[in-house]
Structure 1
Amino acid sequence: MNEVTVVNGNEVSNEDIVAALEIPADFNFDLPDPEDEEIRESDFQNRLDNIWQICDRFDLQTDIWRGRVLRSIRDREKKGGEGRGAGFLNWLKDREITKSQAYALIQLANSADTLLADGMLDPDSINNFSKRAFVETANSAPEIQQLVSEAAQKGDRITRREVKQLADEWTAMSSELLPDEIKEKAAEGSLPARHLAPLVREMEKLPDSHLIEIKREIAESPDIDTVKMMTTEAKNLAKYLDAAAQVQTLRDKAVDMEMALEEALRLDCINTAADLVKQATTLEQTVGKLYTTWKRMSNVADRLYVETGASNPHLRSLLTCLESLTGEIIEVPLDEEGDRIVRLKVMTEDINPGSN
């Protein structure tokens, strides 16, 4: 009797599963001899590439089915289990599968079923994907999924490179941020989409007021060098604006960040200015973490002091040695020899003592 498995309400026989895989369960590939000099290098590479693609396809298909199996086990326990997921976790433990691996496989199965259910992908076309390309496609925007699926259904071999290329083309041609002059060059093929997609992604991070000059530059000189230069500038602009918004020291201060930005652009030092505010953010976060850690360590040291006495000289000696870290003045050597020491004095102040 031919057993069946139900997937999305459809009965799939074991024979169908085997047919879908189209790979014998017992691998027995005829690998070319690497020491056989009579085999041409191109033939050697092609034979190995074909075997690799078969393994890749088998890996993808079996992982999709593993995900479906794991999803069924999880959903079964959700409906009638009494062990708060213990049965599912025990099932994973018995098969040496981590929880994160299990949910990654379930997500892969969900993605496959969604693509199939939406009619974007023919089941036979799955064999044209590498595993990583399929996962990347499943996580892409619907428009990119459609483009990739169409390519797969035409019989094209889909790797991550093809997914990225199609994604870049869609990003470049669909973006309203790029001038018509750029899109025309892209359509002609003289301006590859792989250079335009990073520019679009950086421009999307910027407010409209900072896009005018970038659009003007690339419209006047629609070439690769200008696109690369504007991509770098847009990236530095976004980094500057994002970092400046996070620096607490700059809040409510008499500094016009927009004017400072314009001056940095005029002097062509936007990258340096962006790095400055980024380092300021990092320093503020580091100081905050330092204070929290120092406060916690001081409290723990006080607690240990209370719990010990003169009869515990070694613990008291430990506390004494660490006073250079728990006191108001923190001292830390900068090198192993102790020739250079940094001293920090911790001083806290309530700016608004009357407020709670």
Structure 2
Amino acid sequence: MEYTESMNDLADALQQPADFNFDLPDPEDEGIPESEFQEQVDIAWQVCDRFDLQTDIWRGRILRAVRDREKIGGDGRGTGFIYWLKEREISKTQAYAWIQLANSADTLLAEGRLEPSSIKNFSKRAFVETAKASPEVQQMVSEAAQKGDKITRREVKNLTEEWTAMTSDLLPEEVKEKAADNSLPPRVIAPLVREMEKLPQVHQAPLQKEIGANPDLDTIKQATTEARNLAKYLKASAQVQALTQEDVNIETALVEAQRLGCLNVAADLVNQASQLEQIIGKLYMTWKKVGNLCDRLYVDTGASTPHLRFLLECIEPLGSQVMTIQIGGPNERTIRLQIQEEE
């Protein structure tokens, strides 16, 4: 009986949707100061954003229930859930984004970091950022929301950067102290931490020594650039066959590039080489496909399809061992590529 009554309540709610009746300022009224106009529309937008957040959390809970029901009574492949989504024109990406949002909300509520009544104080993007933040940042944000503060993505971002700058184990004490007294802005320190997290300890140590000896703004920015280039170099070098096949000493080459002050050039070179190898692989697979399609179409064409046969004759050379193309621009030139397969 209780179940039936609750379903009836939900059905009644559909007949009485939330009453949104904003008194929006007239965009053609030049008597309204620009600052006042922006403030009024911003307030209306925030109301929609927060209502949308609570709606999306419930969408996620509904989708999670449908998915979990399918796991228990379905065919084990989730086809019933996929069919449910298709009927409502919901993509899997969107569905799982809503489910993740619901999971985040339920985790924050279950762990006592957030009161249900506080959710209305978040913008949608702020809530998503809070769910991804560390437990300590979640606690600080939740406390602010429970006091009635309006939480936007910017507030969450600022708190996250402040916490990172003052607590990260990757930062020397000299830098943390300057972050604490605001002589070094957290928004500059946080990107350095994010880049250093991508590096092995052997590459973190020199950067830590450098910023510890000179904990100033220019050194932090320079170290961030260097850490970013290091991460790019290390990631790309592991993907370049030309390096792995010849057993190149990546670390020694890296040290030499740093000594010469050309790490950014070396990192860009290795990254471009990685991209080039990937392009060559894609080119080969496309070339094979063009050749196979040409063979199939040749069988089906003849004197009765002169235009189709002519189309085939024009494209067929692109599937041959030597391909010729023209590159336009101020200096037009002809490029010939030859592909040779080896077992």
Q: Note whether the superposition's TM-score is higher than 0.5.
A: yes
The answer to whether residue 29 in structure 2 is matched with residue 65 in structure 1 is: no
Find the partner of 1:201 among 194, 210, 228.
194
SS of the residue 2:337 aligns to: strand
Q: How far does residue 82 in structure 1 lie from its aligned partner after superposition?
A: 8.0
Aligned ranges 1:1-356 → 2 under 5 Å: 3-4=5-6, 25-36=18-29, 39-80=32-73, 92=85, 95-253=88-246, 255-309=248-302, 312-335=305-328, 339-350=332-343
Q: Judge conservation of contact 2:325–2:334 (CA < 8 Å) in 1.
A: yes
Note closer, same or farther for the CA distance 1:33–1:232 as it changes in structure 2 (3 Å cut).
Answer: same
Deviation digits for residues 261-303 of structure 1 (CA, Å, limit 9, x no counterpart) = 2232222221111111111111111111111211222223233
Change (3 A) 1:153 1:236: same
Quote how far apart the aligned CAs of 1:162 are: 1.2
- Residue 354 of structure 1 corresponds to which residue in structure 2? none
Q: Quote the Cα distance in structure 2 between the aligned partners of 1:286 and 1:81.
A: 42
* TM-score scaled by length of structure 2: 0.85
TM-score of the two chains, using structure 1 as the length reference: 0.82
Deviation at 1:30, TM superposition (A): 2.0
How many Å apart are 1:112 and its aligned residue? 1.4
Between the aligned partners of 1:37 and 1:214, the Cα distance in structure 2 is 55
Which AA in structure 2 matches 1:176? D
Q: CA distance change for structure 1 residues 319 and 336 in 2, over 3 Å: closer, same or farther?
A: farther
Give a deviation string over 1:233-288, Cα, whole Å, max 9, x none: 11011111211121111124374333322232222221111111111111111111
C-alpha separation in 1, matches of 2:73 and 2:201: 54
SS at match of 2:324: strand
Query: Could you list the runs of 5+ residues in structure 2 that have no partner in the other structure?
Result: none
Could you report, residue by residue, the CA deviation over 1:54-87 in whole angstroms, capped at 9, with x for unpaired residues?
2222121222223333333444455456898676
Query: Compared with structure 1, are the counterparts of its residues 244 and 91 closer, same or farther at alpha carbon in structure 2 (3 Å cutoff)?
Result: closer
Describe the shift of the 1:189–1:109 C-alpha distance in structure 2 as closer, same or farther (beyond 3 A).
Answer: same
For residues 305-324 of structure 1, what are the alpha-carbon distances to aligned partners after superposition, in whole Å with 9 as ceiling and x for unaligned?
34445665444433332332
One-letter code aligned to 2:289: R
Quickly say closer, same or farther: Cα 1:311–1:79, change in 2 above 3 A: same
Q: 2:146 corresponds to which letter in structure 1? A: Q
| Distance of 2:311 and 2:262 partners within structure 1 | 50
CA contact (8 A) 2:167 2:176 kept: no
State the alpha-carbon separation in 2 of the partners of residues 72 and 255 from structure 1.
53
SS of alignment partner, residue 331 of structure 1? strand
Identity over aligned pairs, percent: 64
User: Which has more helix, going by share of residues?
Assistant: 2
Number of residue-to-residue matches in the alignment = 336
User: Once structures 1 and 2 are overlaid, which stretch shifts more, 308-317 or 25-34?
Assistant: 308-317
Report the residue type matching 1:324 in the other structure: P
Partner Cα distance (1:246, 1:64) in 2: 40
The CA RMSD over aligned residues, in Å, is 3.2
Kept in 1, the 8 Å contact 2:327–2:334? The answer is: yes
Q: Distance in 2 between matches of 1:35 and 1:315?
A: 59
Shift of the alpha carbon at 1:209? 2.1
C-alpha change, 1:300 and 1:35, in structure 2 (3 Å) is: closer
Distance change in 2, residues 1:220/1:89 (3 Å)? closer
Shift of the 42–86 alpha-carbon distance from structure 1 to 2, 3 Å rule, reads same
